Amino acid sequence: MLFFKKYKINMCSIPNILTTLRLILTPFFVFTTLKCDIHIPIIILVLSAFTDMLDGYVAKTFKVSTKFGEGYDPLVDKIMQISIIICLCLKNKLPIWLTFIMITKEIIMLSIGASLYAKNISVKSNWYGKIGTIVFYFATFFIMLKNRLTIFVEEFFYIVFFLTTLFPVIGYLIKLTKKF
């Protein structure tokens, strides 16, 4: 607790609590995806997506965003997204090449974000990142239903998944070039 007081970190803001809930949901998603029927991990996925959208909405609408939350939320997003990607691959619902590309992208984005955060440079979320996240969760939902999809629909969602990887990166890089 001293760490939080010393650096004036407000963990008790509603957006940070929602982000913490998403972090807590991550191991449950992993466990249930690997060990249970599809229904439980899909419920956890929907809850995770809901808390992801709600924390940003609350932070912006009620102006309760914190410096801590600016770094914490994207970190938890990356942890959840990497966990989802790995689980889908382990369940043979995502090809290894796409898994590799997506995890590499998430690690690069996380590294750049951490570097900027350490330099006290704020890169706030933007519409293309939000759209990418929404599409990521929708594509994940449908990919989890893989056994119930036709090959054409399955390939379509692989392409969507891949594009959700590229779209935010391009927007992020454009935004970064404008900052420097």
pLDDT band with cut points at 50, 70 and 90 for residue 120: confident
Task: Give the 3-state secondary structure of residue 10.
Answer: coil
pLDDT band with cut points at 50, 70 and 90 for residue 114: confident
Please say if the pLDDT value at position 10 is more than 60. no
Does the pTM of the predicted model rise above 0.85?
A: no
**d(Cα 62, Cα 58) in Å, to the nearest integer?**
6
Q: Which residue ranges form the domains of the chain, and what is each CATH number? A: 2-179 (1.20.120)
Cα 128 versus chain centre, distance: 13
**d(Cα 50, Cα 94) in Å, to the nearest integer?**
23
Please say if the pLDDT value at position 7 is more than 60. no
Residues contacting residue 107 through CB under 8 Å, at least 6 positions apart: 78, 82
Tell me what the pLDDT averaged over the chain comes to: 82
Average pLDDT over residues 131-137: 83
